[in-house]
Chain A
Amino acid sequence: MSDTVITVDHLCKSYWLKHQLQAGRKQSVQSEHFSEVLTRFISTPFRRRDSAEKAASREEFWALKDVSFEVKRGDVLGIIGRNGAGKSTLLKVLSRITEPTSGRIEIDGRVASLLEVGTGFHPELTGRENIFLNGAILGMSRVEIKRKFDEIVAFAEVEKFLDTPVKRYSSGMYVRLAFSVAAHLEPEILIVDEVLAVGDAQFQKKCLGKMQDVSRNDGRTIIFVSHNLQVVQSLCTKGVLLAGGTIKVLGPTSEVVAEYLKSLQSGFKIGLEHRRDRQGAGDIQFTEIEMLDQFGQRIENAISGQRVTLRLHYRTKADHPYRNCRVSVSAHANGVVYFLLSTELVRSDELVLQGRGHLDCIIPELPLSRGEYYLNPFVESNKVVQDLVEGAWPLSVVDGDFYGHGRNYPPGWEGIGVLVRHDWKW
């Protein structure tokens, strides 16, 4: 038996977008209304629409273009890419929900796909009933569900509410139960979409642990889409970076993640000045963030414990000075704030901003462990918020020597806490 369980060969998938030119605005609609078909048929019953006319109103959109790769038995393949890169389409084609436009896939083994948590859950049914229903929908047999029933219930921690309709569940309980059923699937190939984005952190960890066990101990193959790069890095053995429906990089996870970060960064660099998703009055705006090392050289990645300067470039709309300013930048990852660096915390003199310029924030020793963080810059003047851009700039930190002896946070702790200088006595 060959070791390759999935072969994807020149896979393409296109969708037809229909455009209606309405009041000068281009609008895409998903499908033709029956009334349109009918009126067209009634008005011109014997004329086939010529292809030029057809082409004008429809546009082909390639969600996947010439994608080829192989997955070996026991691989955990992480698929990353920005929104709209084709990740979900790829999973849908792989799990046979939608058909490819061209190309070929060969799959050797039983596939289960988990594109959504709790697919088929019915609110009127009790927890117990939903376990059976959902299990069957995900491809488990009745015998299999019965055998694992207790395990599923224990994992979800919903013993007391088994006979309550799930519509009365808290959202947390609902998600836990749904996850739990999915976590007990035992296919040879598991296809998972970004489902780990929901649920509380503790439960997420439990699920990840379960998935890890499954792939390591039983040699099961997993294909996994996530935006959480840490998860991808810790879980996956191989990675694929998709962009615009094509494969950009295919290889070891670390390479793929690094490439993805690079592409994000280059995107952000152009981005900040032109970004629209900002809050505040907008009289003062950030145009760029630069990261400099101890020698004043621009860097892409910071090292734990390194002396780092964050250079915030700004621009004011009017030419007059904006008085009583406060500028801050905070570091985030996975929705958690790691630290806040704010002018009023360390300086008591007035900050006045005018025209174009930059401010430097110096961090003598970067107290972050390896991981991916985001910087949110903020500026206000006379207590009026002027600019706040969430996720304005990615801060990628690699392992360094914070404690001066070459040892770093143990595995599993990277990226989930700040480094604190400390000592022990005994």
Chain B
Amino acid sequence: MAKLIIEAGQARKHYWRDLWRYRELFYFLAWRDLLVRYRQTAIGLTWALLRPLLTMIVLTVIFGRVAKLTVPGVPQPILVLAAMLPWQFFSNSLSDSSNSLVANANLISKIYFPRLVVPASSVMVSMVEFIISFAIMVVLLFIYHYPITWHFIALPPLVVLSFLAALGPGLLITALNVKYRDFRYIIPFIVQFGLYVSPVGFSSSRVPEEWRLLYSLNPIVGVIDGFRWAICAKEPMYWPGFVVSLIVIGLMLFYGINYFRRVERKFADII
């Protein structure tokens, strides 16, 4: 094994290799969060089904029946759920990863490991919940006899995309949270607000054409559009918007990781 050298301000040369070496810790932390999430609850993982189901019903009624924001040929529950699954995955990931460092302060101050493991593993719980709640979608497609198209193959990369979309701001906020706990109060606000400004209850084709590109600056818009395209397969993909969202996601991820790496060496001193 190569000599380990500890110096002030040294840029970690083998950052990503180091991260790979700690993949088991990543796995165990994710496993812990998952085990703990539904400990001492009566219905356990059923919550992962119940919460999206109830939210879906409410949103279906509000946006479909009351606001009449429908898309012809697509049953409203499918339209809503196709957006709600990625939205919930995104918002849960964002809040979990943002709080992850502070929640694991005892680990940070007592053990060395690449700190990136913590926010990344905290997202895994939402990932599992996402997969479980996807069962609702399968059931809905079956009930409505909705056709499944080849667009479905886009789903796995889209899931990865929403993971990355959450990780970028998540890393930034969790790092800031170490020093300024103010950010833990900002997150619930972003999440609540985001539900209404993102095309969860309605299709983004409802947004006036001239505003649509600007609207796609919200990175989750591209992800949701992608999900709708893959599952509902009724409206054409708005590619310029998708590319804008991709760029925003990429930039945020880049900035998030860079900021995180810059400050992570000081975490143990100030957490």
Contact = CB atoms under 8 A, between A and B. Distances in A.
Given A33-B180, A107-B3, A125 B107 contact: no
Contact of A107 (B6, B31, B39): B6
A136 B36 contact: no
B39 A96 contact: no
Interface in B100-142: 106-113
A138 interface: yes
B270 interface: yes
A162 interface: no
B3 A108 contact: yes
Given A133-B28, A136-B25, A97 B111 contact: yes
A92 B3 CA distance: 18
B242 to A, nearest CB: 35
B28 A122 contact: no
B111 A109 contact: no
A399 interface: no
B268 interface: yes
A10 B115 CA distance: 27
Interface string A166-199: 0000000000000000000000000000000000
A137 B265 contact: no
B32 A133 contact: yes
Interface string B16-28: 0000000011011
Contacts of B25: 136-137
Contacts of B266: 99
A124 B265 CA distance: 30
Contacts of B112: 95-97, 113
Contact of B39 (A37, A94, A124): A124
A398 interface: no
A129 B36 CA distance: 11
Nearest to A134: B28
Contacts of B110: 97, 115-116, 119
Interface string A90-123: 0011111111111111111111010110011010
Nearest to A193: B110
B32 A99 contact: no
B269 interface: yes
A137 B7 CA distance: 24
B111 A138 contact: yes
Given A30-B270, A31-B179, A133-B28, A102 B107 contact: no
Contact of A125 (B1, B35, B108, B182): B35
B4 A107 contact: yes
A136 B24 contact: yes
Contacts of B27: 136
A31 B28 CA distance: 32
B42 interface: no
A105 B1 contact: no
A34 B182 contact: yes
A109 B269 CA distance: 25
B39 A104 contact: no
Interface string A65-103: 000000000000000000000000000111111111111
A2 B46 CA distance: 58
A94 B35 CA distance: 33
A317 interface: no
A111 B4 contact: yes
Nearest to A138: B111
B109 A97 contact: yes
B40 interface: yes
Interface string B71-110: 0000000000000000000000000000000000011111
B36 A122 contact: yes
A59 B5 CA distance: 29
A124 B37 CA distance: 10
Given A104-B6, A106-B3, A136-B28, A31 B35 contact: no
Contact of B111 (A94, A103, A113, A142): A113
Contacts of B7: 100, 103-105
A112 B109 CA distance: 14
Interface string A50-68: 0000000000000000000
A43 B50 CA distance: 49
B4 A106 contact: yes
A125 B111 contact: no
B231 to A, nearest CB: 36
A99 B36 contact: no
B189 to A, nearest CB: 15
Nearest to B176: A34
Interface string B235-271: 0000000000000000000000000000001101110
B111 A102 contact: no
Interface in A198-216: none
B8 A101 contact: yes
Interface string A125-144: 10001001100111001100
24 contacts: A92-B268, A93-B6, A95-B111, A99-B8, A100-B7, A100-B8, A104-B6, A105-B6, A105-B7, A107-B3, A113-B112, A116-B110, A119-B110, A120-B106, A120-B111, A124-B35, A124-B39, A124-B40, A125-B39, A137-B28, A137-B111, A137-B113, A141-B24, A142-B24
Interface of B: 1, 3-9, 24-25, 27-28, 31-32, 35-36, 39-40, 106-113, 179-182, 265-266, 268-270
Instruction: State the 5 A-B residue pairs at the shortest beta-carbon distance, nearest first.
Output: A34-B180, A136-B28, A96-B112, A105-B6, A107-B4
